[in-house]
Amino acid sequence: MKRIIALLCIVTLTLGLTACAGKAQPQAEESNASSSQEEASSVAEPESSVAEEASSEEPQESSSEAEEPEETPVADKVLVVVFSATGTTKGVADKIAALTGADLYEIKAAQEYTDADLNWNDSSSRSTQEQNDPDARPEIGSDPISLEGYGTIYIGFPIWWGEEPRIMDTFVESYDFNGITMIPFCTSSSSGIGRSGQNLAEHAGSGNWLDGQRFSGGVSEEELQDWINSLQ
Ligand SMILES: Cc1cc2nc3c(=O)[nH]c(=O)nc-3n(C[C@H](O)[C@H](O)[C@H](O)COP(=O)(O)O)c2cc1C
């Protein structure tokens, strides 16, 4: 009897140990699996960190690329610049500005021209003396203007003794017109624009100067619009 009980104990013990051994194996496999996963993820890490680096760099590159156009905005604004001693050329300038949607900048002499100054029958009048001196540069009294953003400038003046008034030379020598299309126009009693446009281009030394156009003070908006269209 004792032998039978001892045998049963051995059998029970053996079965119990076998069951424990069977359970322990998957645990070992699991821990192996998790350690191999860790290995796999640590191998993949450089890739993911490269990807992270790339993804962290890419937006910076693309955002700086996207910002580039903002750094160099297109200069597409239009400006009308005018000097007018008695208002005739200013009237034409106003019409051009209205037709083109342009801003207007008026050149005012620091020392305003009086009627006596403008008397071309007087050889000693201020205007006659200035026009007889190619180096005369009358001072401008109006505040300077920033030309940033302007791609086209209509530049108007009266004809004095067949040319642009010397104050126009003062103006064009004071600015950089690089990259700007310059379009001269003038009014007169009867004279054409002559060499005025070329004179201004030479004195400016910058800008893309188109041929100028002379108008009478009473020029119609239709005539001005036709001229503007012909420049396109
Ligand atoms: C000093 C002076 C010289 C002028 N010389 C000429 C000229 O050579 N030829 C011409 O046709 N008109 C001449 N004019 C007339 C003006 O060009 C014309 O009246 C012009 O439309 C005036 O423009 P504003 O009112 O904008 O100053 C002269 C006017 C002045 C005051």
pLDDT, position 33? 37
Cβ count near 79 (within 10 Å): 20
- One-letter amino acid at 131 equals Q
- State if residue 160 touches ligand 1 by the CB under 6 angstroms criterion: yes
Tokens for 180, please give them.
């700007």
Instruction: State the pLDDT at residue 17.
Output: 43
Predicted local confidence at residue 2, as pLDDT: 52
Q: Which of 120, 167, 168 to mutate to test the pocket of ligand 1 (most atoms within 8 A of CB)?
A: 120
Torsions phi, psi for 155 (to 5 deg): -125, 115
| 105 Cβ neighbours under 8 A, 6+ residues apart | 79, 80, 81, 82, 142, 145
Residues near 206 by beta carbon (within 8 Å), at least 6 away in sequence:
176, 177, 178
What's at 6, amino acid-wise? A
Ligand 1 midpoint to CA 216 (Å): 11
- Topology of the domain comprising 77-230: Rossmann fold (3.40.50)
Measure 159 CA to ligand 1 centroid, in angstroms: 5
Shortest-distance Cα residue to atom 18 of ligand 1: 188
Q: Tell me if 27 sits within 8 A of 35, measured CB to CB.
A: no
Stretch 195-207: mean pLDDT: 98
The pTM of the full predicted model, rounded to 2 decimals, is 0.74
Reduced DSSP (H G I as helix, E B as strand, rest coil) percent helix, strand, coil of the chain, to 5: 50, 15, 35
Give yes or no for residue 205 having a pLDDT over 90.
yes
- Amino acid letter, residue 162: G
Kindly report, residue by residue over 25-59, the tens digit of the pLDDT: 334 333 343 333 433 333 333 343 333 444 444 44
Instruction: Give yes or no for residue 196 CB within 6 A of ligand 1.
Output: no
What is the per-residue pLDDT across 129-172, written as a single tens digit (0 to 9) for each?
Answer: 999 999 999 999 999 999 999 999 999 999 999 999 999 999 99
Residue 85 beta carbon below 6 angstroms from any ligand 1 atom: yes
DSSP E strands, 48-149:
77-82, 103-106
For residue 113, the ligand 1 atom closest to its alpha carbon is 31
Is residue 9 predicted with pLDDT exceeding 50? no
Nearest CA to ligand 1 atom 17: 188
Contact 212, 187 (CB under 8 A): no
pLDDT more than 70, % of the chain: 69
Decide whether any atom of ligand 1 lies within 6 Å of the 99 Cβ. Answer: no
Q: What is the DSSP letter of 109?
A: B
Asked whether 158 lines ligand 1 (CB < 6 A), one says yes
Domain limits, the chain? 1-72, 77-230
